[in-house]
Amino acid sequence: MEIIRRYYASLCDFKRGIGNKETVETIKKLMNNIGITTQDREIVKYALEKSEKENVNTVAIMLENGKVITGKESELLSSSSALLINTIKEISGIPDDVYLLSPSVLESIFKLKQKTSYKRNYSLNLPEVLIALSICSKTNPIIEKTLEAIDKLRGLEAHSSYIISQSEQKILKSLGINLTCEPKLLGYEE
């Protein structure tokens, strides 16, 4: 799996212009010699199927019990943020219909983003969601319970249908999640 993860990383680096084609080809040769392909990384198909089916950027993660959880991009959350919330809710046994983020906290964050951002997309990224969850945990014991589940993410395999931001990748890596990304900058463009 490590070789396949490195292959995806080299593809993404090449796509972003910070890697070279020789590295990609070297790892691809190694994979051919060993007899492995990207299809051997089971989580990939789940991310790509969900992304294609719903025509939206998606990240999928496989839990230790084999269950697959996905997060998709929306006006409210980045796909990585949605994935984190969905996963910690599943691990904690919190029903899907329970909202973890307070509407008043979300409203404050959106207003600030609208005033300070030149972008048109105000969805919450992973760092912002983690901060919002930690703030909301002080008044909501359910959120405190879900945050305790973050340690259970270590060692899980995840795949994104596009290259997620460096800030989100760093957080997922610090959580111990083995993430790979499709070499697509905007999700659907080649």
* 62 and 148 part of one domain: yes
User: Is residue 189 in some structural domain?
Assistant: no
CA 67 from centre of chain:
16
Mean pLDDT of all residues belonging to the chain: 90
Q: How far apart are CA 86 and CA 109, in angstroms?
A: 20
66 and 126 inside one domain: yes
Report the run of H or E that residue 58 belongs to, with start and end.
strand 58-62
**pTM of this prediction?**
0.89
Do the domain assignments include residue 147?
yes
Read off the pLDDT of each residue in 54-73 and give the average, rounded to a whole number.
96
Same domain, 11 and 26: yes
**Which residues form the domain of 14?**
1-41
User: If pLDDT is split at 50, 70 and 90, which confidence band does 154 have?
Assistant: very high
Number of domains, the chain: 2
Instruction: Identify whether residues 46 and 35 lie together within a single domain.
Output: no
- Do 115 and 177 lie in one domain? The reply is yes
